[in-house]
Chain A
């Protein structure tokens, strides 16, 4: 899908924030991901035109960072930390439970496009390990049992908007600290809220 005028207008607003056009590449990729749920080739072409670099240069950056998705993800992207703090707090069992529930291996999406499961490196929540992210909204102190409940909740209730605090209350435990930007609006897609460019406010 090529970009409509509204999206291009928004992209131009972002580009103006930077002294060089090509510096806007990161946020523009988020914009593309917001729209399609992943970075599709058409968006790459649009971005390359907007900031004056070649398509393959855009794709090079987009494919380097794992949080830019190269393929469509399911409605809920489950990112479970496997780094050292979570690992010693039993994230392995948590991972196994989620894998068993969803039937997914690392970096897989199920057939009805509900879940995508991925094991990730440190997500900066060591104080509340083990930690899980649903569409990049972080839940800390999750036990293997709570993780199963979380999956069940997502599968049965199918919440439209994911809000970190709500999940934390229902399925979380010990919390490390008030992390990140103050943003309680949640996300409705697998793209992360990106407050600076205003994508989060629209929900």
Chain B
């Protein structure tokens, strides 16, 4: 246990905890010590020497780096003495010897720690008249990051981040002494899901993002805090705009969720906001082309269609990028159309677009996990889809917990990225080729020894679309009985939990396909979804949309799904709307607006209330805040409700946890034989990503994975081939992955080229003629 310690800094008596670093303890008491290399989320290295302070020792006063010195009882520290000032001036003079004075063209200028601290602590004049060191500037070290080695002051923040935090050390110090530089290995670029964080923590302009380079000066930026909606972790972010254009997204240090880090998907997926392909006017399909119409015409058209079709089935296919307020309105409209007044159907008509949606563990018998529980767990059990690809920041949190001593147990065949961290990986022999648990969990010794009576957090979800809930139940119920269990439902897509909280009854895509009645009249509303591009059920959904009588799509782009619609209502996106979103721990956080809605786009709730009203409803929401005041009434804890006012309070900036009744109604998919599994990867061909030029290439690689046995069965000898299905043939890289069960081929569902692959049909893999074909995109 840490105890309170009293120590003295600059004559003031301060208090801190034992084991705390001097620089951190001073910071907490409001004394700022300048630093470059020290970062509170990274291990200290004492590399830059900028944080030298004078400490009284038995042998007199001594200069020590405050970032590697722990506070002790009665420590006496001077941070402003003459010697400290001289040391700071000296260090800065050394750092500036080789640092180019290209601040006028440097992206970092204006928010640069080196610039700021030189102003505050520097010598003011340079005595250096010799030639500075030169490197080629800049060099790309990955598709999204450029490195200018001349500017680097060798603080090792980026290399420590990639080693300690993200675990993919693809950049390191090369050479020694005056020649030291940060670099990658030839032909081994810094391809990391988390590489953008190194740009954010670089204390100089050595690492820059291709997307932000030369775009703006920091003092011109308009900033607002918001919450990322790329996965259900809900990272705190800062949106930076200038001239009504989103220019960059930075991670904010939210202790509860992302702790400062972001995945590159969350950080760079914003260029699409200003893409020329974005739909800016309401499009009405007549014959085979779209023409622009007004909102008045559009609502009338919807009303006429509903009346004309005479008691049609009206279904809503919803996605994960709406706000809680929008889901609340979707629910209201869906209910109104379906049962309250209009058509008197008794079952729910809202379907959530996630292949892996299942009924989850929301009952009171399961205690719900928070992300911070990972840090205090003795064991973490994971059985869900690939965490690194689908919940990247959760991967970092698990990695951190494992580093601090938690045991990690991973089940299944497909969570391979996290396998490297796992103490125990239960794949073949314990999980069948059909993803069922074939061993009684109490009989797995290693599981029992590491969970019985211990604090356990489980991240539970369907690892693949074929998995049955029953086998997951076996594991979760066993753990719930034998250990102090906390459960995460691992629905990974954006604001899934907001949808679950605000919609009375949610069904999945399997139900959408099964419940479709071709003989009846059908109207489908799609809200921010593109299942035709990236779902296991893509083909049946495509057929349904084609055969439906009327399809209305609310979306940002014309894509595989919206091109099948009769009416496209262009909507708003990140930074263009205000609202709340709910993350996987039921933490409700604020999304803020900083950009005007472009063209004649409206938010989803605006379209929906207009539709509701023209059909005879009497809802008059004027803004998001009004919707919010209705939806907060349903939260279980009325002390801490997530109203806009509440969330804007400084103490609640990082969200409040609050729950609502959740009702999911899905059934397992029953496929007896399958050999092609399509899984979602972080990068892909979503319409937002392909319209964001800085990251559109990241999802270009086409590949399949299989184990060596399966490769033998297909007669695969080389590392590349063709995936052939009917007349469709895709050139692919072939990766051997021994975690996969025999006979199974895993392909990315959201990659260009794979959109016409139907997992339920036969396929074969043939040798590719030559490797060059692969690079054709």
Q: When the two chains form their complex, are residues B175 and A44 in contact, meaning their CB atoms are under 8 A apart?
A: no
Give chain B's interface residue range (CB within 8 Å of chain A): 10 to 19
0 or 1 for each of A58-85: is its CB under 8 Å from B? (1 = yes): 0110011110000000000000000000
- Interface contact B175-A64, CB-CB below 8 Å: yes
Q: Which residues from chain B contact A56 at a C-beta distance below 8 Å?
A: 169-172, 174, 183-185, 188
Q: Categorize the interface residue count of chain A.
A: 10 to 19
Contact partners of A59 in chain B: CB under 8 A? 172, 174, 185
CB–CB A63/B176 < 8 A: yes
Q: Residues of B contacting A57 with CB < 8 Å?
A: 169, 172
Chain A nearest Cβ from B704, distance in angstroms: 23
Q: State in angstroms the CA–CA spacing of A66 and B174 once bound together.
A: 12
For B175, list chain A residues within 8 Å (CB): 63-64
CA distance A66 to B176 in the complex (A): 9
Q: Say whether B173 contacts A60, CB under 8 Å.
A: yes
A54 at the interface (CB under 8 A from B): yes
B186 close to chain A: CB less than 8 A: yes
- The interface residues of chain A lying within 8 Å CB-to-CB of B174 are 56, 59-60, 63
Query: Whole-angstrom distance between the alpha carbons of A53 and B185 in the complex?
Result: 12
Q: Which residue of A lies closest to B420 (CB)?
A: A52
Q: Does A55 contact B (CB under 8 A)?
A: yes
What residues on A are CB-neighbors of B183 within 8 Å? 56
A166 surroundings in chain B (CB, below 8 A): none
A41 within 8 A of B: yes
Known interface pairs A41-B186, A44-B185, A59-B185; A54-B169 also in contact (CB < 8 Å): yes
Q: In the complex the two chains form, what is the Cα distance from A55 to B172 in whole Å?
A: 10
A54 touches B170 (CB 8 A): yes
Least Cβ–Cβ distance between B232 and chain A, in angstroms: 30
Residue of A nearest to B187 (CB): A41
Q: In the assembled complex, which residues on chain B have CB atoms less than 8 Å from the CB atom of A41?
A: 185-186
Contact with B along A23-65 (1 / 0, CB 8 A): 0000000000000000001001000000001111101100111
Give Cα A66 to B173, complex, Å: 15
Task: Please measure, in the bound complex, the distance between the C-alpha atom of A150 and the C-alpha atom of B173, giving whole angstroms.
Answer: 38
Minimal beta-carbon separation of B193 from chain A (angstroms):
15
- For chain B, residues 153 to 186, give those with C-beta under 8 angstroms from any C-beta of chain A: 168-176, 183-186
Chain B CB within 10 Å — which of A60, A64, A66 has the most?
A60
For B172, the chain A residues whose CB sits under 8 A away are 54, 56-57, 59-60
B403 CB to nearest A CB, Å? 16
Closest approach, in angstroms, between the C-beta of B179 and any C-beta of chain A?
A: 9
Of all chain B residues, the one with the shortest Cβ separation from A48 is B185
Complex: how many Å from CA A64 to CA B179? 10
B106 to nearest A CB, angstroms?
26
Q: Which residues on the B side are within 8 Å of A55 (C-beta)?
A: 185, 188
Q: Once bound together, how far apart are the Cα atoms of A56 and B186, in whole Å?
A: 9
A95 to B185, alpha carbons, bound, how many Å? 35
- Taking CB atoms, residues of chain B closer than 8 Å to A53 are 169
Closest B residue to A64 using CB positions:
B176
Contacts of A54 in B (CB 8 A): 168-170, 172, 185, 188
Q: How far is the CA of A66 from the CA of B175 in the complex (A)?
A: 9
CA of A168 to CA of B662 in the docked complex: distance in angstroms? 86
A156 → chain B closest CB, angstroms: 36
A41 to B188, CA, bound (A): 11
The docked-state distance in angstroms from the alpha carbon of A115 to that of B169 is 37
- Residue picked from A44, A59, A66, most chain B C-beta under 10 Å: A59
Give B17 Cβ to nearest chain A Cβ, in Å: 32
Q: How far is the CA of A56 from the CA of B169 in the complex (A)?
A: 8
Q: For the complex, what is the distance from the CA of A24 to the CA of B169, rounded to whole Å? A: 19
Q: Which residue of A lies closest to B179 (CB)?
A: A63
B50-87 residues at the A interface, CB under 8 angstroms: none
Q: B184 to chain A: which residues have CB within 8 Å?
A: 56
Interface residues in A134-192 by Cβ distance below 8 A to B read: none
Residue of B nearest to A59 (CB): B185
B183-201 CB mask vs A (1 if < 8 Å, else 0) is: 1111010000000000000
Most buried by A among B168, B174, B184: B174
Interface centre among A55, A56, A59, A64 (most CB of B within 10 A): A56
Q: Which residues of A contact B (CB under 8 A)?
A: 41, 44, 53-57, 59-60, 63-66
State the 7 A-B residue pairs at the shortest beta-carbon distance, nearest first.
A60-B172, A55-B185, A56-B185, A56-B172, A64-B176, A63-B175, A63-B174
What is the interface of chain B, defined by CB distance below 8 A to chain A? Answer: 168-176, 183-186, 188
Task: Identify 7 residue pairs between A and B in the complex whose beta-carbon atoms are under 8 Å apart, listed by A's number.
Answer: A41-B185, A44-B185, A55-B185, A56-B170, A56-B174, A56-B188, A63-B175
Q: What would 17 more interface pairs be, CB under 8 Å, given A54-B172, A57-B169, A63-B175?
A: A41-B186, A44-B185, A54-B169, A55-B188, A56-B169, A56-B170, A56-B171, A56-B174, A57-B172, A59-B172, A59-B185, A60-B172, A60-B173, A63-B176, A64-B173, A64-B175, A66-B176
